[in-house]
Amino acid sequence: MSTEAASTLPAARLFPAEERLVEHFRNLKPDLPDDESGRLRRDAAIARIERDGLPNRRVEEWKYTDLRTLLREAAAPAPRPDARVAETARADARVLAELEAVRIDFVNGHLVAAGDAPAGVTILPLARALEESHPALADFDAVEVARGNALIDLNTAFLGDGVIVHVSAGRQAGAPLHLRLVNRGEAPFATAVRVLVIVEKGAALTIAESHEGDVAAQPNTLVEFVLGDGAKVEHVRINAEAAGALALSTVTAMLGAESNFRSVNLVAGGSASRHQVFLAYGGENAHATVAGVTVISGEEHADTTLVVDHAVPGGESRELFKTVIDGDATGVFQGKIIVRQDAQKTDGRMMSAALLVSPGATMNNKPELEIWADDVQCAHGATCGELDEELLFYLKARGLPQAEAAALLLQAFVGEALELVSDETMREAMNALAVKRLENRS
């Protein structure tokens, strides 16, 4: 509603955030490696931002996360790092280091190395795909409910680099892929990475995405999945950015019939973040599980926004989000399940639970349902509160000190969502990061 209303208003006044972005865009434009359609996409995206302004608290979908304020100090895009910097960054990367995987490395938003693709899998640098006007580019922006989103527009306008991953029909990728995004430097910079993952009919892929660094970067990543009929994808994402970072990320998935998609996100770094997930059911009887764990403290702000669009019958969706908030931090969960007229027999369940462990913590929950079909089951739940005194008492009665008892309960709380990661190495790495974050808190 509000976005529609916003677009009918006269051209918005430009605030410092928009002014900076438009200026960065002008400086960047001559160096971009696009084909004609790529240029048009960029121009249209920046024009929308100029016309409507960045979303702010008056825009319903951004009520709790004011992008205009977050981007007041919008940094310029990072230049391609030299080989030495890139090599050091790769060598120092820590997150999921123990995972045996085919790595695809980005440093400061630029693709610097990609391992040998397993059989049946193609890894194509996005720059090359753009130069060649590769047919796979037709799969960009497959999910309708994500179109017009401000983060996607920003990613499109400033797109620096990316990769297209293709898994051929019926192939099970032997090893997981690991997209490793490392940001190194002194002064803040922005990145815009786009990844398109096409998993053909009956194929399967496990893919991890990790974000780390030593600089207060402003990454904006867009990862799009297109699943063929019966395809299976497991995706995990770890935000372990440096303090001060502003992590903007979007995951979209177009689900074919009988396909199975799973995505688990962990926010264990950065100062501010907005993670968006847009799911669309393109074929019948598809299943999706989307989960997330957020552990924040200090002045941090973490937003998870989810839209699940059931357009065809028999879709099943499960969402579970856990947030632990300490200090004066603010957690946000916005989830929306749409069940369209034809999506009979849909089964959707969404749960968001938050624990506030300090007097200054804030949690904003908005679990929405929009239902147009009469033979469906949809449920949502949202809770927020503090640690259960009775459980604490029970553990203390068993001889555990207060701090340990609390830590144990918090681990169990976030563990429920992390258990949904089926790869053991990934799950344990995520658990360890979450536990470390929880410990640093106390």
Partner 1 sequence: MPAVQETIEHVRTLDVDQYKYGFETHLEVDKAPKGLNEDIVRLISAKKDEPAWMTEWRLDALRRWVTMREPTWARVNYPPIDYQELHYYAAPKMNAAPKSLDEVDPEILRTYEKLGIPLREQEILAGVEPSRRVAVDAVFDSVSVVTTFKEELAKAGVIFCPISEAIREHPELVKKYLGTVVPVSDNYFATLNSAVFTDGSFVYVPEGVRCPMELSTYFRINERNTGQFERTLIIADKGSYVSYLEGCTAPARDENQLHAAVVELIALDDAEIKYSTVQNWYPGDAEGKGGVYNFVTKRGDCRGKNSKISWTQVETGSAITWKYPSCILRGDNSRGEFYSIAISNGFQQVDSGTKMIHLGRNSTSRIISKGIAAGRSENTYRGLVSAHRRASGARNFTNCDSLLIGDRCGAHTVPYIESKNASAIFEHEATTSKISDDQLFYCLQRGLDGEEAIALIVNGFVRDVLQQLPMEFAVEAQKLISISLEGSVG
Q: Which is nearer to partner 1, 293 or 363 (CB)?
A: 363
- Residue of the chain from 80, 90, 366, 427 that contacts partner 1 (CB under 8 A): 366
Q: Which is nearer to partner 1, 79 or 385 (CB)?
A: 385
378 touches partner 1 (CB under 8 A): yes
Q: What are phi and psi of 305, to 5 degrees?
A: -125, 130
SS3 assignment, position 372: coil
3-state secondary structure 100-151: CCEEEEEECCEEEEECCCCCCEEEEEHHHHHHHCCHHHHHCCCCHHHCCCHH
377 touches partner 1 (CB under 8 A): yes
Q: What are the DSSP E strand ranges found in 156-315?
A: 161-167, 177-183, 190-199, 204-213, 218-227, 232-240, 246-255, 260-267, 272-281, 287-296, 301-310
Map the footprint of partner 1 across residues 194-233, applying CB under 8 A.
none
151 touches partner 1 (CB under 8 A): no
Q: Which is nearer to partner 1, 369 or 409 (CB)?
A: 369
Map the footprint of partner 1 across residues 54-73, applying CB under 8 A.
60
Residue with the two structure tokens 């053909």: 200
State the nearest-atom distance from the C-beta of 267 to partner 1, in Å: 19
CA pair distance 418, 410, nearest whole angstrom: 13
**β-strands 316-325, 218-227 pairing:** unpaired
Give the contact letters, 13-52, x = binds to partner 1 (CB under 8 A), - = no: ----------------------------------------
Q: Which is nearer to partner 1, 100 or 374 (CB)?
A: 374
State the nearest-atom distance from the C-beta of 335 to partner 1, in Å: 11
CA atoms within 13 Å, Cβ hemisphere of 79: 8
Q: Which is nearer to partner 1, 373 or 392 (CB)?
A: 373
- Residue of the chain from 204, 227, 245, 376 that contacts partner 1 (CB under 8 A): 376
381 touches partner 1 (CB under 8 A): yes
- Residue of the chain from 27, 37, 122, 383 that contacts partner 1 (CB under 8 A): 383
- Residue of the chain from 382, 391, 392, 395 that contacts partner 1 (CB under 8 A): 382
Residue 253, both tokens: 């998935």
Per CB under 8 A, the segment of 153-161, 171-179, 237-245, 348-356 that binds partner 1 is 348-356
SS3 assignment, position 61: helix
341 touches partner 1 (CB under 8 A): yes
Taken in order 422, 428, 429, 430, the sign of the CA dihedral is positive
Helix (H) or strand (E) holding 331: strand 330-339
Q: How many residues bind partner 1 (CB under 8 A)?
A: 38
Q: Which is nearer to partner 1, 5 or 119 (CB)?
A: 5
299 touches partner 1 (CB under 8 A): no
State the nearest-atom distance from the C-beta of 325 to partner 1, in Å: 8
Partners of 128 in the β-ladder: none
Helix (H) or strand (E) holding 440: helix 424-441
Map the footprint of partner 1 across residues 300-339, applying CB under 8 A.
339
403 touches partner 1 (CB under 8 A): no
442 touches partner 1 (CB under 8 A): no
392 touches partner 1 (CB under 8 A): no
356 touches partner 1 (CB under 8 A): yes
191, amino acid identity: T
State the nearest-atom distance from the C-beta of 64 to partner 1, in Å: 8
Per CB under 8 A, the segment of 69-77, 368-376, 410-418, 427-435 that binds partner 1 is 368-376
State the nearest-atom distance from the C-beta of 332 to partner 1, in Å: 10
CA pair distance 405, 357, nearest whole angstrom: 13
CA pair distance 283, 255, nearest whole angstrom: 6
Q: Which is nearer to partner 1, 28 or 361 (CB)?
A: 361
CA pair distance 264, 121, nearest whole angstrom: 22
CA atoms within 13 Å, Cβ hemisphere of 213: 35
End-to-end CA distance of the chain: 42
**β-strands 287-296, 204-213 pairing:** unpaired
Per CB under 8 A, the segment of 65-73, 206-214, 297-305, 349-357 that binds partner 1 is 349-357
State the nearest-atom distance from the C-beta of 57 to partner 1, in Å: 13
CA 100 to chain centre: 23
Q: Which is nearer to partner 1, 131 or 386 (CB)?
A: 386
Interacting residues toward partner 1 by CB under 8 A: 1-2, 5, 60, 339, 341, 349, 354, 356-359, 361-386
